[in-house]
Chains A and B, each alone.
Chain A
Amino acid sequence: MAAPDILNPQAPALTENEELALINADYEQRYGFHDAENYLYKAPKGLTREIVEKISEFKSEPRWMRDFRLKALEHFLARPQPTWGSPLLAEVDYDNIHYFVRASEKPGRSWDDVPEDVKRTFDRLGIPEAERKFLSGVGAQYESEVVYHQIREDLEKQGVVFMDMDSGLREHEDIVREYWATVIPPNDNKLAALNSAVWSGGSFVYVPAGVHVEMPLQAYFRINTENMGQFERTLIVAEPGSYVHYVEGCTAPTYSSSSLHSAVVELIARPGARIRYTTVQNWSTNVFNLVTKRAVAHEDATVEWVDCNLGSRLTMKYPSVYLLGERAHGEILSIAFAGKGQHQDAGGKIIHAAPDTSSNIFAKSISKDGGRGSYRGLLEIAKGAHGARSKVVCDALLLDEHSRSDTYPTIRISEDDVNVGHEATVSKVGEDQLFYLMSHGIPEDEASKLIVNGFIEPITKELPMEYAVEMNRLIELQMEGSIG
């Protein structure tokens, strides 16, 4: 049975074949288009102190933020490019990137305020429609800055803040300053330093104590220009007993030369709060996606990362949860799909720093057409974190003999009274599995899709239904022509 069209439930249901025919519209047509450039400002390529100062000046930032940026720039310039992770990192050319591009004057609260060509792009990506149907709020970033931001009025009345990070700094400087860079300091790593120097856009979310935001807040990140660097910065603070689900998606046109996306995301779940952060990453295959994401969970708090990586040339991303309070819980669900020319180096880190904390890491990777999927993870149980429980499962599926899968799990345990499990599997789509399904009349490519869908189902079922449908479509799209 074909998946229902969530954005248009009135549309007649499609047969599986019709659905597949639609899926045949490839990335190029669905996401790979680009608009003519009609920018208010586009920085020349390369990173200099002047560009960092200009970004700060454009945004009329307080002095402390300007100083923060300039210090981070020194850290970035002083640090060598990492040599671990992926050989593709050597391809990143920091001198061939535009570090700041401004498309509109300020974020609109209505789509009518958004420049026409930019609005058309988001229409084409289905964002305004999704907003009307099933979201609590939407932020849309185009190049360096957010062009549209809106939150449902009832949530705003309850004190929920959801705005672009630039506005968050202006309107809620005290909260921002209290938490800013406390989870990811600028000197944490070279890419965090780069983001700290040139950050622009991203989301600021603040949920007051006891408030539950039932429907997701969605951010959509779009790169349009060639050789673009997008450096959004997101900070989510969930006060005691609150709940929020934040979802982000991203796409870009396909160019022959590279772009760079390097975000920093900090989450703070105060006692008893719960934050779920879902990513459906579908950058074009010329984008380097080098992101630092980290959360702290205080007493009885829960943080969940649901991380789906489909696109990009290289992704290096290991969402982390520091369980700092007793009984805190962390969850990382990760899917990575590596196709031709792609390396998905993904995974996660959980640090148990308090008693009776618990965690799960479930990671699945699929490699085909010579793609490379890596799981890289850390599970740490600190001295004093007695009663900690954790389970790490990482599974890899190889669809052909040219593809590659690696697993780099690290487990450090400094306490006796704990319960830790680790399982890892690597499997191929076996001829016996295919034969079994084909003997029941299922064509070979269908059978292969079924096996892949069954493999990732434990994670896609955790996605909101709308995104699970999109995820399955994307996986099917990636699977087109994979057998035969």
Chain B
Amino acid sequence: MPEVIQVCPIQELSPGEMRVVEWDDLEIGVFNCAGTVYAIEDRCSHDNGTLVEGELDQQACTIECPRHGSLFDLKTGKPLTLPAYVPVDTFPVIIEDETIKLEVE
């Protein structure tokens, strides 16, 4: 049974903004991409660096790893460019009571 965790009120994450939430040992990046919120593991699968310090492309819905430039698809977690080649986990996003929540397990 997945657990639901709260991230923040929706108005605290405007389009183009992103933040990290922690759950257990995991860091999860939450991204507002042109009004739609996505959540993926905040870890580049190439060398484990953080992704939320990278550049968010709201049109393409991608985040660029700031360390070596791999682009990750925020909808699928798949890397679209090398050097990363392993997808990262994605997490379902729930918007409820004007609050962003994630399903984790």
Residues of chain A whose beta carbon lies under 8 Å from any beta carbon of chain B:
75, 181-189, 294, 296, 322, 324, 351, 353, 382-383
Contact B68 A188 (CB under 8 A): yes
Contact A187 B69 (CB under 8 A): yes
The size class of the interface chain B forms with chain A is 10 to 19
A182 interface neighbour in B64, B68, B81, Cβ under 8 Å: B81
> Of B12-20, B35-43, B82-90, which stretch is located at the interface?
B82-90
Contact A351 B85 (CB under 8 A): yes
Secondary structure of the B contact surface, majority rule:
loop
CA distance A186 to B65 in the complex (A): 11
Inter-chain CB contacts under 8 Å: number: 40
Could you mark each residue 68-105 of chain B with 1 if its beta carbon is under 8 Å from any beta carbon of chain A, else 0? 11110000000011110110000000000000000000
What's the least CB distance linking B83 to chain A, in Å? 6
A324 interface neighbour in B65, B83, B85, Cβ under 8 Å: B85
Residues of chain B whose beta carbon lies under 8 Å from any beta carbon of chain A:
64-71, 80-83, 85-86
Question: For residue A179, which residue of chain B has the nearest CB?
Answer: B81
Q: 9 nearest interchain CB pairs?
A: A185-B69, A187-B69, A182-B81, A353-B85, A185-B81, A188-B68, A183-B82, A188-B69, A187-B68
Secondary structure of the A contact surface, majority rule:
loop
A185 interface neighbour in B68, B85, B86, Cβ under 8 Å: B68
Contact B71 A382 (CB under 8 A): no
What's the least CB distance linking A394 to chain B, in Å? 23
Q: Which residues of A contact B82 (CB under 8 A)?
A: 182-185, 188, 294, 296, 322
Q: Which residues of B contact A187 (CB under 8 A)?
A: 64-69
Q: Which residues of A contact B80 (CB under 8 A)?
A: 182
Contact B85 A188 (CB under 8 A): no
Q: A188-B68, A189-B68 are in contact. Are A183 and B81 (CB under 8 A)?
A: yes
Question: For residue A184, which residue of chain B has the nearest CB?
Answer: B82
What's the least CB distance linking A382 to chain B, in Å? 7
What's the least CB distance linking B73 to chain A, in Å? 13
CA distance A322 to B82 in the complex (A): 9
Q: Which residues of A contact B71 (CB under 8 A)?
A: 185
Q: What would be 11 A-B contacts, judged by CB atoms less than 8 Å apart?
A: A182-B80, A182-B81, A183-B82, A184-B82, A186-B69, A187-B64, A187-B68, A187-B69, A188-B68, A188-B82, A382-B86
Question: For residue A71, which residue of chain B has the nearest CB?
Answer: B55
Q: Which residues of B contact A188 (CB under 8 A)?
A: 68-69, 82-83
Contact A353 B66 (CB under 8 A): no
Q: Which residues of B contact A383 (CB under 8 A)?
A: 86
Q: Which residues of A contact B69 (CB under 8 A)?
A: 75, 181, 185-188
What's the least CB distance linking A352 to chain B, in Å? 10
